[in-house]
Amino acid sequence: MSDAPFSFTVQHQQGRARAGELVTPHGRVATPVFMPVATQATVKALTPEEVLAAGAQMVLCNAYHLYLRPGVEMVARLGGLQQFMAWPRPILTDSGGFQAFSLGALRQVDEAGIRFRSHLDGSLHHFTPELATANQERLGADIIMCFDQCIGYGASKEEVRQAMERTHRWAQGCYDSHAASATAEQQALFGIVQGGTFPDLRAESAAAITSTPFSGYAIGGLAVGEDKAVMYEITQQVADLLPANRPRYLMGVGSPEDLVEGVAQGVDMFDCVLPTRVARNGALFTRRGRVDITARRFAEVTGPIEEGCDCYTCARFTTAYLWHLFRAKELLALRLASIHNLRFILRLMAEMRQAIVADRFEEFRRGFHDAYRPTDEAVRQAQKEKWLKARGG
């Protein structure tokens, strides 16, 4: 293994599925890995110790929100993100591009970057590739992301092309800025492939982004409203076009079925707010699918939400107690549900890694799909649209 501050090694492969290891200044990460989202330097409702106990190896923080509050310079003065949030493990930050873009009428995109008004106080800001990169460098993350132009699902091919080509130009600006920085050797910069759901644009974007020697490559612009079959098709296409010796990151994906399929297509890294977001709304993961803990049928169930689950919630509390907490609107409900869902996802990732190493991933994949019933597609799309509309807040 290299002694460099950042490196990646594929240790075993079965089909496209890969088991590997990331080396970062704040520790090693076994892949495939899911990163819980700590939007404002916290995974909502949980302490760092609880996130670690659930099995998290690294988390994602949101550069847009931290730029606005408490401010990048304040985080830097207080020792960087790890010290600020008491998280001893690796951190990845996004550039803030998606959040700025999602502000709708509050933002304007031009060649130089994105001008936007803060959703907090209406103040005017301008993110450029160079500023977005510098913000993440100052936050002190182990992995930072290029500034890209996100485009809404359903946009025309010409609109997607223009955003993609701008993303390519911005990526070069991010790379040049980071290469000249004092933290270049300590922080890994990932490029992002765009192109919507158009295979020819995805191929063009993958070629353009991989022509620059980023430390890793992300697949952006998916899980934003397209059918799952389309998402899986594009993910596989792009993953096949990315360098085998670099980590591959599918951004914003966190449904159990999507994680299994993403790993099957050769993806190494994932993040999503979904596990903790749905937990706070009473949706808990089980091997059979998501259940609504607020349903009356759980009122007198004396066992855990899932037999065999080793999370703190299932080890200590009955399903009936969780039902009661949610019905009574107790804060503990949000914490216990979040612990369970995070542990479910992180244990799923560990099991997939074990299956890859043992050359039984396809067997694991079939078994998972035989048992797990995903959320209805129409319901999922409606929930996604509602979330995207509220994303700027």
For residues 245 and 302, membership in a common domain is answered with no
Residues 6+ apart with CB under 8 A from 287: 306, 371, 372
- Alpha-carbon span 173 to 134, nearest angstrom: 11
pLDDT per position as a tens digit, 9-22: 999 999 999 999 99
DSSP 198-252: -HHHHHHHHHHHHTS--SEEEE-S-SSSS-HHHHHHHHHHHHHHS-TTS-EEETT
Considering 273, 299, 314, which residue would you say is the last residue of a domain?
273
Region of poorest pLDDT, from 110-124, 191-205, 245-259, 357-371: 110-124
Do 260 and 342 lie in one domain? The reply is: no
Q: For residue range 144-163, what is the model confidence (pLDDT) as tens digits?
A: 999 999 888 999 999 999 99
Neighbour count for residue 315 (Cβ, 10 Å): 9
pLDDT attached to residue 383: 57
CB 93 within 8 A of CB 144: yes
Q: How many residues does the chain have?
A: 393
The residues, ordered by sequence, that sit 6+ positions from 354 with a Cβ below 8 Å of its Cβ are none
Q: Across the strands, what pairs with 189?
A: 144
Residue 255 CA to its chain's centroid (Å)? 11
**Does residue 239 fall inside a structural domain?**
yes
**Which letter does DSSP use for residue 104 in this model?**
G
- In a domain? residue 383: no
Last residue of a domain, one of 217, 246, 273: 273
| Separation CA 217–CA 249 (nearest Å) | 6
How far, in Å, CA of 145 to CA of 356, rounded? 28
Same domain, yes or no: 91 and 165? yes
pLDDT, greater one: 108 or 141 = 141
Q: Would you call 194 exposed, middle or buried from its count of C-beta atoms within 10 A (0-12, 13-18, 19+)?
A: buried
| In a shared domain, residues 245 and 185 | yes
Calpha distance 279→322 (Å, rounded): 11
Q: Which residue has the tokens 């910069």?
A: 189
Listed range (50-59, 64-73, 95-104, 342-351) with the worst mean pLDDT: 95-104
Which region, left, alpha or beta, applies to residue 282 given φ > 0 means left and ψ of -120 to 50 means alpha? left
The DSSP H or E segment spanning 1 is none
d(CA 30, CA 23): 9
Output the pLDDT for position 283: 98
Q: Is residue 67 part of a domain?
A: yes
**Residue 1, pLDDT above cutoff 80:** no
At residue 385, the pLDDT reads 59
Could you tell me the two tokens for 6? Answer: 């950042």
Enumerate residues 6+ apart whose C-beta is below 8 A from 321.
none
What pLDDT, in 10s, does the model give residues 213-228? Answer: 999 999 999 998 899 9
Locus of tokens 């050359």: 359
- Which residue reads 């799952």 in tokens? 228
- Residues 223 and 252 sit within 8 Å (Cβ to Cβ): yes
> What pLDDT band is residue 378 in, cutting at 50, 70 and 90?
low
The predicted pLDDT at position 151 comes to 87
CATH number of the domain within which 110 lies = 3.20.20.105
Total domains in the chain come to 2
What pLDDT shows up at residue 34? Answer: 99
Task: For the chain, count helices (H), then strands (E).
Answer: 16, 16
Q: How far apart are CA 87 and CA 47, in angstroms?
A: 9
pLDDT for residue 380: 58
Query: What would the mean pLDDT of 361-366 be, rounded to a whole number?
Result: 98
Query: What distance in Å separates the CA atoms of residue 325 and residue 23, rounded to the nearest whole number?
Result: 41
Q: What is the mean pLDDT of the chain?
A: 94
* Per-residue tokens: 295: 């349903």
* C-alpha span between 95 and 388 (Å, rounded): 18
The pLDDT confidence band at residue 393, using thresholds 50, 70 and 90, is very low
CA distances from 98 to 62, 95, 165, 306 (A): 10, 8, 16, 35
Once rounded to an integer, what is the mean pLDDT over residues 159-177?
97
**Residue 2's pLDDT band (boundaries 50, 70, 90)?**
very low
Just list the catalytic residues. 94, 271
301-359: pLDDT as tens digits = 999 999 999 999 999 999 999 999 999 999 999 999 999 999 999 999 999 999 999 99
| pLDDT value of residue 152 | 82
One domain, residues 240 and 303: no
pTM comes to 0.95
pLDDT tens profile 275-298: 999 999 999 999 999 999 999 999
Mean pLDDT (whole number) for 103-108? 80
The reply to whether 172 and 292 lie within a common domain is no
The stretch 201-211 carries a mean pLDDT of 98
pLDDT at 361 over 90: yes
**In terms of domains, do 316 and 170 share one?**
no
Note whether 339 and 226 are same-domain residues.
no
Is 86 found in the same domain as 171?
yes
Q: What are the CA-CA distances from residue 45 to residues 13, 280, 313, 331, 366 (Å)?
A: 36, 9, 14, 9, 34
Q: What percent of the chain has pLDDT over 70?
A: 95
Report, as an integer, the average pLDDT of 71-88: 98
The domain containing residue 187 runs over which residues? 7-273
Please state, in angstroms and rounded to a whole number, the distance separating the CA atoms of residues 205 and 160: 11
Tens digits of residue pLDDT in 23-55: 999 999 999 999 999 999 999 999 999 999 999
Q: Is residue 121 part of a domain?
A: yes
